[in-house]
Amino acid sequence: MAAFTEEQSMIKDQAKSWVTEQTPVQKFRELRDDGKSSGLTAETWSAMVDMGWTGIIIPEQYGGSNLGNLTFGVVLEETGRQLTASPLLASALVGASAILLGGNDAQKQSWLPRIVDGTSILTLAVDESPRHAPEDTALSAEKTSDVFTLTGTKAFVLEGAVATALIVAARTSGSPGDAAGITLFVVPADAQGISRAPLKTVDSRGYANIEFDSVKVDSDAVLGQVDQGYALLDATLDRARAGLAAEMLGTAAQAFDMTIEYLKTRKQFGQVIGSFQALGHRAAELFTEMELARSCVEAALTAIDEGAEDIDRLCSLSKCKAGDFMHHTSNELIQMHGGIGMTDEFDAGFYLKRARVVEATFGNQAFHRNRYAKLMGF
């Protein structure tokens, strides 16, 4: 485990206390039952803004605290434990990272303060099919004079139902499958020609499919360089993957804790089932997977903060190992609880459903094993 600073420990304690009291899983259940597909309330978002969570990676000159990605990961892990729904990851981490990495001074001055105060919610619109494949971008951006016309569709956009601005990966040259020829644009979500179709997902979050029908933006909307946006996109995605891995770690760790508590209290044949050797061995295996995943996640977030050379490898490693741990733990949560684990009145199902969705987001385990191998030269 990483050695947290006193400030990071305080933020972790604050986050744990707040999510436990204000956004427990029971609150998420109520929102789902009320038909709120995004699982988000204005009160939750406002409280996160007031606590300064939206400015954790943003420099002080733009209103943030510049505490780094590892500190952000601490917060995301705690929100993951209670399945707290919010645009925190999509906007304050992914959106902010794209602006910080690729934005010019005017773009940073325009967008970063609004991310910090929560008035703007940014998200990354990258994938166009069920599988994560950034280089397969086909949404076109045709240039006429100083105006680009965007046409195409983005699928399964994280927080796409509530975002106020979209960071869109578009193709300005080349063909789908080429890394070259991709350009990023910052586009207001209410721009003429944009239509959103919110998705009803098993984890009750605010995903959406977004269609761009001849959406016009000027050259000031370009993030980074025209035709050379893939490196920026990849770096932004790495930060998204590491942040999501931190949230997944929290979700899976809570599922593990729920399983251990059940093993300690459930009795069969006159004794607690945790005393059965076979179940004890399975729990021990989960614990080793959890600690391995935690090491990988913290290493990735620390590498980002330090500007290390192996950020890409560590981010893929963290997303893969967090996914493995989450998949295994969510399965065992259901299995070890027996029949009650299959009922909706018990919370286990929420963790299983969330696991299946986030495993696929920004690349599943197979994607990242393949990417890691390529980065290692295989």
- Note the pLDDT of residue 153: 98
Q: Within this chain, do residues 90 and 162 fall inside the same structural domain, yes or no?
A: no
Q: How many residues does the chain have?
A: 378
Q: How confident is the model at residue 38 (pLDDT cuts 50, 70, 90)?
A: low
Q: Within this chain, do residues 242 and 352 fall inside the same structural domain, yes or no?
A: yes
The number of folded domains in the chain is 3
- Spatial distance between the Cα atoms of 153 and 213, rounded to a whole number of angstroms: 9
* Residue ranges making up the domain that contains 189: 123-229
- Spatial distance between the Cα atoms of 77 and 300, rounded to a whole number of angstroms: 14
Percentage with pLDDT > 70 across the chain:
97
Q: Within this chain, do residues 112 and 13 fall inside the same structural domain, yes or no?
A: yes
Residues 275-296 pLDDT 10s:
677 778 888 999 999 999 999 9
| Whether the predicted pLDDT of 245 surpasses 80 | yes
Residues 202-230 pLDDT 10s:
998 999 999 999 999 999 999 999 999 99
- Note the pLDDT of residue 306: 97
- Note the pLDDT of residue 281: 85
**pTM of the predicted model as reported, rounded to 2 decimal places:** 0.95
Average pLDDT of the residues of the chain = 93
Residue 99: name the closest of 54, 138, 144, 132 by CA: 54
- Note the pLDDT of residue 280: 80
* CATH number assigned to the domain comprising residue 26: 1.10.540.10
Q: What is the mean pLDDT of residues 177-195?
A: 97
- Note the pLDDT of residue 274: 60
Residues 6+ apart with CB under 8 A from 328: 286, 289
Q: Within this chain, do residues 349 and 367 fall inside the same structural domain, yes or no?
A: yes
Q: How confident is the model at residue 160 (pLDDT cuts 50, 70, 90)?
A: very high
